[in-house]
């Protein structure tokens, strides 16, 4: 049973919501609330000031909204493209690098994948461990402190190889060059790049490595502003988030 729950204030004009574990305490200007150990989605709870919160089941987007951040996490739309383009599913083994907040690793784990993720910054890695525990996926996400490029030989010896390799690191081309040794036959590579120059280097490395179906896309999403006068794209939002490069292994490793 996932111990974390979403607590949403019942005032329709309020956007107050908090992620807490069963047994944890919530302290806000709306009062103090201790989440019961037996709390379940749908329950109604009150602070000591009589403010009501409704309990909701934790969903993927709640991780993005409520995980402690150590930088800019990958946006849900980018995660969605990775899942859609690679077909990530339960039972997959995933090698991830550039853990950051742990959003991508947690999304994949909630699908049922087993994730090994590397983060070079030890403080970031500690935050990611706390986040995946809060997200209820600590058993499926192995957060390792270190540079994945130092572990490529050992990771390449893992049998039968990874179903998916996801990268959000400056040294991604180095890992991409070793992707055929890391991926099992038909496995996918997905690389997030913040700058187009980085995306180019990744794409070239994937081609040089002999990966199949190399494709780079820009992720853009425009929110619509629906008003009394009409509907138009929101001029305040930032539609661009980054570049994603996908490729697939055609090696003879695994099944």
CATH number, domain of 36, equals 3.10.330.20
Over its length of 255 residues, how does the chain's per-residue pLDDT go in tens digits? 468 999 999 988 888 999 999 999 999 999 999 999 999 999 999 999 999 999 999 898 999 999 999 988 899 999 999 999 999 999 999 999 999 999 999 999 999 999 999 999 999 999 999 999 999 999 999 999 999 999 999 999 998 999 999 999 999 999 999 999 999 999 999 999 999 999 999 999 999 999 999 999 999 988 899 999 999 988 776 688 999 999 999 977 766
User: d(Cα 162, Cα 220) in Å, to the nearest integer?
Assistant: 29
Output the domain CATH number for residue 164: 3.40.50.150
Per the listing, tokens 């590579």 go with 189
The set of residues, in sequence order, having a beta carbon less than 8 Å from that of 29 and lying 6+ positions away, is none
In whole angstroms, how far apart are CA 211 and each of 7, 22, 68, 96, 251?
45, 46, 35, 18, 8
Count the Cβ atoms, other than its own, within 10 Å of residue 10.
Answer: 13
Same domain, 108 and 48: no
- At 190, is the secondary structure helix, strand, or coil? strand
Question: Could you tell me if residue 253 is inside a domain?
Answer: no
Helix, strand, or coil (residue 145): strand
**Cis peptide leading into residue 28 (ω within 30°):** no
Q: Which residues, including other chains, have CB under 8 Å from residue 138's CB and lie 6 or more apart? A: 129, 132
- Do residues 73 and 166 both lie within one domain? yes
Same domain, 12 and 114: no
The answer to whether the CB of 18 falls within 8 A of the CB of 66 is yes
Assess contact for 132 and 141: CB atoms under 8 A: yes
Give the pLDDT confidence score for residue 237 in this predicted structure.
67
Q: Are residues 116 and 44 in the same domain?
A: no
Its domain, for residue 22, covers 4-58
User: Rounded to an integer, what distance in angstroms lies between the CA atom of residue 157 and that of residue 58?
Assistant: 36
Cβ count near 6 (within 10 Å): 19
**Does 98 share its domain with 127?**
yes
Classify 48 as helix, strand or coil: coil
pTM summary value? 0.90
Distance, in Å, from the CA atom of 128 to the CA atom of 119, rounded to the nearest integer, reads: 9
Looking at 41, 58, 75, the residue that finishes a domain is 58
Q: What per-residue confidence (pLDDT) applies to 71?
A: 86
Q: Which long-range contacts (CB under 8 A, 24 or more apart) does 220-224 make?
A: 221/77
With CA atoms as reference, report the closest residue to 26 among 64, 69, 66: 66
Domain count, the chain: 2
Domain membership of residue 255 (yes or no) is no
Give the pLDDT score at 191. 98
Q: Do 138 and 42 fall into the same domain?
A: no
Quick check: is 14 in a domain?
yes
- For residues 156 and 123, membership in a common domain is answered with yes
- Whose tokens are 């490395």? That residue is 205
Residues 53 and 107 in one domain: no
Let me know whether 118 and 216 are in one domain.
yes
Return the HEC string of 17-44: EEEEECCCEEEECCEEEECCCCCCCCCE
At residue 2, the pLDDT reads 66
Which residues lie below 8 Å from residue 176, measured CB to CB, with a gap of 6+?
167, 189, 191, 202, 205, 206, 209, 211, 247
pLDDT at position 14 is 84
Residues 147 and 51 grouped into a single domain: no
Rounded CA Rg of the chain? 20
- State the chain's maximal CA–CA distance in angstroms: 64
């Amino acid at each position: 049973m996932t111990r974390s729950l979403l607590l949403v204030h019942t005032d329709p004009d309020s956007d107050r919501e908090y992620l807490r574990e069963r047994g944890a305490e919530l302290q806000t200007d709306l009062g103090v609330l201790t989440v019961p150990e037996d709390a379940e989605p749908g329950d109604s709870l009150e602070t000591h000031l009589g403010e009501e919160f409704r309990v909701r089941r934790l969903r993927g987007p709640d991780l993005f909204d409520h995980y402690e951040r150590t930088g800019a996490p990958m946006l849900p739309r980018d995660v969605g493209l990775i899942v859609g383009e690679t077909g990530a599913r339960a039972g997959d083994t995933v090698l991830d690098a550039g853990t950051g907040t742990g959003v991508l690793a947690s999304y994949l784990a909630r699908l049922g994948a087993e994730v090994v993720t590397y983060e070079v910054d030890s403080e970031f890695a500690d935050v990611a461990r706390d986040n995946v525990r809060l997200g209820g996926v600590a058993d499926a996400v192995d957060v390792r402190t270190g540079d994945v490029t130092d572990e490529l030989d050992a990771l390449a010896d893992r049998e039968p190889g990874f179903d998916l390799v996801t990268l959000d690191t400056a040294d991604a081309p180095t890992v991409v060059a070793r992707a055929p040794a890391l991926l099992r036959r038909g496995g996918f590579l997905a690389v997030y790049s913040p700058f187009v120059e980085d995306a180019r280097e990744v794409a070239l490395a994937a081609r040089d490595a002999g990966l199949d179906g190399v494709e780079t896309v820009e992720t853009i999403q425009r929110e619509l502003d629906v008003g009394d006068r009409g509907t138009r794209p929101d001029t305040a939002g930032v539609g661009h988030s980054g570049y994603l490069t996908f490729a697939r292994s055609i090696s003879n490793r695994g099944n």
